[in-house]
Chain A
């Protein structure tokens, strides 16, 4: 699962430097524009970083086997999540839609029949991503799926850092899985799933499940995590992965 986790090519360079390099080598104008929009320096305080919470619904967990069904995103900062600028798009997967995932997302074949291919909405997607650091819950979905899709359509990939709210929860609860002895004593494992993590911060339960609500839920969770365990002054470079 880790081969797609992030760049391994230039470990000694910072992200802003890598963005500058990649802006020169990228072929697709949209990918060029993404890198040109730049990346904040690792020392930038969290409070000053433009963020975008991103969530994909997919037909499965393996980017090589499954496809993206819908995209939800919402731009935000630590101060506020701007619902009016949110975006939700159903896309037509190139692989068959499995019955199991239909019941999870509530997206049906008829929804998808009329939906565009990802390539048709790339312009809008990039407009939302440019100049912002993506925030996801569980980094092994959005970045790898996006890269497989881009590779397939543009023969190029996108390298970028993400903030992963699930990784932050994992870091906060290193002993979340009790050993056999602790289990005997009644200790329960700590769940770091999105809905369970939110409960720990008094965040409300959302009844609906779609990519946009999950993106909003992720954005709220990050705000809560930073205010509870870090601070608005924390450097973005300490948190991104």
Chain B
């Protein structure tokens, strides 16, 4: 293979099963390739057609269907197709169609057969898929879901390899070679603690040093990358992946505050799982207008249904859906800033409620707000931020996130305020609480900075964590509000049904199910000074204190999971049957198993509410403190 074709070999070598293939074999693959371009909408392989090529998708997207025409799989960059037929009689068994403009590397049958004979891993990979397509599809998806629920720390295999930023080029290259790493972190060691100052990668060495024939004595600080993009150690793997895609970097230092925990590379993630199921999320960032985002948003319910059918748990689904919602907001903010120009003062865009808690589902409205820098002058700057807020809010509405009926959106001037005012709001809510105002501000206690100066949101979280646990009256009123909605259980464990317009006799699994649980978990979490937002993470923080006995926290977690998953399945079923998904469940729609377990779960919630009333003296003022 010609060295100049390295770009092409490197691309293939990123993806399984080619990632574990010997270099000589890879060279042969490249030698045999024929490149072909297909316009979106073109049928690449027809059912029954003679085909002698393995098709590797270099860029674009392809849909594979079953004989029946039903969608079987959707492929993205680095995936291949056409092999089912190659293993048999070279007739196409699964037709393929380009759904985006696609560039395909066609690998000839002779090469395919040679790889199959020479490389056991390759043979397993293509055969396993042939033998039990469904099973492997599911396990692939499960691993993909892992991406959304596993933290980046899972990918850190070693201590970070570092060097002082004073080293010379050759020394740096030697350290990297000796340690077998593709990136070296450079530390400023002049202070008391070493501080991360820059990074240099293999690629930098090639492009910045070798091609320019820099002398080996060049200080590394001359060519290292400063202004680092990093990721916090509690981030999910898929967030790391998005950060990389988004900033076009291939290495991310993982940070615990100011301390470096390690470095993860794009290839680590790609090895961990192929990109396929992140198709939607990564696609969001490629859209250049609201129209494009709207088009993509139509795929959100499908993604939701797919995760449900593959037995993802509610935490996975909730965080994936919230991640998708966050990505839409972030992309809209970027597009808004492109349209309106850079913001006149720094700001932070906050997601509130279920998005902040990572508990979003498909039927959801938008809850958001803006924290502006304290240098904000309304007469000069507010026109900009109103326009930006409106752009994002309208865009989200286009993408299926309907306007918040309670006006909790950044378009509302009350929720578009400088940090100083936000601190006053929270101080007021916590130190001078009134039952009525707390009812409406509940949602602000689940907050997450999703764009811009996210440090502003962190400051608010600090303030809440610091003040809330000390204000007994605040906790009491918050607990009382949390008791307003009770589970739908009556005498003798019968469901209490509500007459509900077209939904007739049903109960609302959000209002009377998941919401009361997350409400009561929030009270305990604030009482113990936790900064967590997700209900399951809050429960973990709570169980470390003595607020609840261990068993109670565990039971509550199981109850929340079960109620959530019944609610999720109910919505997925509606989407599959082409109905509008909602939260109203009729008992006759449930299996006897689900009915019985749901009653157990409601009983647990009911008991937890009784404990909440007792613990925070929330019994309606009868208890004198």
Residues of B within 8 A of A203 (CB): 37, 59, 101, 103
State in angstroms the CA–CA spacing of A204 and B61 once bound together: 12
Asked if A220 is at the interface (CB within 8 A of a chain B CB), the reply is yes
Residues of A within 8 A of B159 (CB): none
A81 near B2 (CB under 8 angstroms)?
no
Q: Interface majority SS on A: helix, strand, loop or mixed?
A: mixed
Which of A76, A202, A213: most chain B CB closer than 10 A? Answer: A202
Q: Which listed residue, A72, A83, A87, A106, touches B35 by the CB 8 Å rule?
A: A83
A88 near B4 (CB under 8 angstroms)?
yes
Q: Which listed residue, B60, B102, B106, touches A80 by the CB 8 Å rule?
A: B106
Residues of A within 8 A of B7 (CB): 206-208, 213
Q: Which listed residue, A83, A103, A223, touches B37 by the CB 8 Å rule?
A: A223
Asked if A12 is at the interface (CB within 8 A of a chain B CB), the reply is no
Q: Which listed residue, A83, A223, A224, touches B5 by the CB 8 Å rule?
A: A83
Q: Mark A191-229, 1 if CB is under 8 A from B, else 0.
A: 000000000011110111011110010011001100110
B109 to chain A, nearest CB (A): 14
Residues of A within 8 A of B60 (CB): 202
A72 near B59 (CB under 8 angstroms)?
no
Q: A83-B8, A203-B59 are in contact. Are A227 and B37 (CB under 8 A)?
A: yes
Q: Mark B7-36, 1 if CB is under 8 A from A, else 0.
A: 110000000000000000000001111111
State in angstroms the CA–CA spacing of A18 and B339 once bound together: 55
State in angstroms the CA–CA spacing of A94 and B212 once bound together: 22
A202 near B8 (CB under 8 angstroms)?
no
B101 near A202 (CB under 8 angstroms)?
yes
Asked if A140 is at the interface (CB within 8 A of a chain B CB), the reply is no
Asked if B420 is at the interface (CB within 8 A of a chain A CB), the reply is no
Residues of A within 8 A of B106 (CB): 80
A208 near B4 (CB under 8 angstroms)?
yes
State in angstroms the CA–CA spacing of A228 and B98 once bound together: 14
Residues of B within 8 A of A106 (CB): 211
Residue of A nearest to B106 (CB): A80
Q: A72-B4, A208-B4, A208-B7 are in contact. Are A83 and B34 (CB under 8 A)?
A: yes
Asked if B67 is at the interface (CB within 8 A of a chain A CB), the reply is no
Q: Which listed residue, B3, B4, B35, touches A211 by the CB 8 Å rule?
A: B4
B35 near A212 (CB under 8 angstroms)?
no
Q: How large is the interface on B (under 10, 10 to 19, 20 to 34, 35 or more residues)?
A: 20 to 34
Residues of B within 8 A of A44 (CB): none
Q: Which of B22-62 contact A (CB under 8 A)?
A: 30-40, 42, 58-60
State in angstroms the CA–CA spacing of A83 and B104 once bound together: 13
Q: A80-B34, A81-B36 are in contact. Are A86 and B101 (CB under 8 A)?
A: no
B213 near A108 (CB under 8 angstroms)?
yes
Asked if A29 is at the interface (CB within 8 A of a chain B CB), the reply is no
Asked if B100 is at the interface (CB within 8 A of a chain A CB), the reply is yes
B31 near A81 (CB under 8 angstroms)?
no
A223 near B36 (CB under 8 angstroms)?
yes
Q: A80-B106, A212-B2, A213-B7 are in contact. Are A202 and B100 (CB under 8 A)?
A: yes
Asked if A182 is at the interface (CB within 8 A of a chain B CB), the reply is no
Residues of A within 8 A of B363 (CB): none
A213 near B4 (CB under 8 angstroms)?
yes
Q: Which of B328-351 contact A (CB under 8 A)?
A: none
Q: A202-B100, A202-B102, A204-B58 are in contact. Are A83 and B33 (CB under 8 A)?
A: yes
Residues of B within 8 A of A202 (CB): 40, 59-60, 100-103
Q: Which of A68-94 contact B (CB under 8 A)?
A: 72, 76, 79-84, 86-88
Which of A80, A206, A211, A223: most chain B CB closer than 10 A? Answer: A80
Q: Which listed residue, A103, A206, A213, A228, touches B211 by the CB 8 Å rule?
A: A103
Q: Which listed residue, A76, A79, A103, A220, touches B212 by the CB 8 Å rule?
A: A103
Asked if B137 is at the interface (CB within 8 A of a chain A CB), the reply is no
Asked if B6 is at the interface (CB within 8 A of a chain A CB), the reply is yes
B4 near A212 (CB under 8 angstroms)?
yes
Residue of B nearest to A219 (CB): B35
Residues of A within 8 A of B213 (CB): 108
Q: Which of A13-41 contact B (CB under 8 A)?
A: none
A133 to chain B, nearest CB (A): 18
State in angstroms the CA–CA spacing of A76 and B39 once bound together: 18
State in angstroms the CA–CA spacing of A228 and B102 once bound together: 12
Q: A72-B4, A204-B59 are in contact. Are A216 and B212 (CB under 8 A)?
A: no
Residues of A within 8 A of B36 (CB): 79-81, 223
Residues of B within 8 A of A80 (CB): 34-36, 106
Residue of B nearest to A207 (CB): B7
Q: Which of B192-247 contact A (CB under 8 A)?
A: 211-213
Residues of B within 8 A of A219 (CB): 35
Q: A204-B103, A212-B4 are in contact. Are A220 and B35 (CB under 8 A)?
A: yes
Residue of A nearest to B35 (CB): A81
B475 to chain A, nearest CB (A): 53
A18 to chain B, nearest CB (A): 31
State in angstroms the CA–CA spacing of A204 and B101 once bound together: 11
Q: Which listed residue, B34, B38, B40, B42, touches A81 by the CB 8 Å rule?
A: B34
A232 to chain B, nearest CB (A): 12
Q: Which of A103-147 contact B (CB under 8 A)?
A: 103, 106, 108
Residues of A within 8 A of B35 (CB): 76, 80-81, 83, 216, 219-220, 223
Q: Which A residues contact B (CB, under 8 angstroms)?
A: 72, 76, 79-84, 86-88, 103, 106, 108, 201-204, 206-208, 210-213, 216, 219-220, 223-224, 227-228
List 16 additional A-B contacts (Cβ < 8 Å) besides A87-B2, A227-B38. Answer: A76-B35, A80-B35, A80-B36, A82-B34, A83-B5, A83-B31, A84-B32, A201-B37, A204-B59, A206-B7, A207-B7, A208-B4, A212-B2, A212-B5, A223-B36, A224-B39
Q: Which B residues contact A (CB, under 8 angstroms)?
A: 2-8, 30-40, 42, 58-60, 100-103, 106, 211-213
The 9 A-B pairs with the shortest beta carbon distances in the complex, nearest first, are A80-B34, A202-B101, A81-B35, A212-B4, A106-B211, A223-B37, A204-B59, A84-B31, A208-B7
CB pairs A–B below 8 angstroms (7 shown): A83-B31, A86-B5, A88-B3, A202-B103, A208-B7, A220-B103, A228-B39
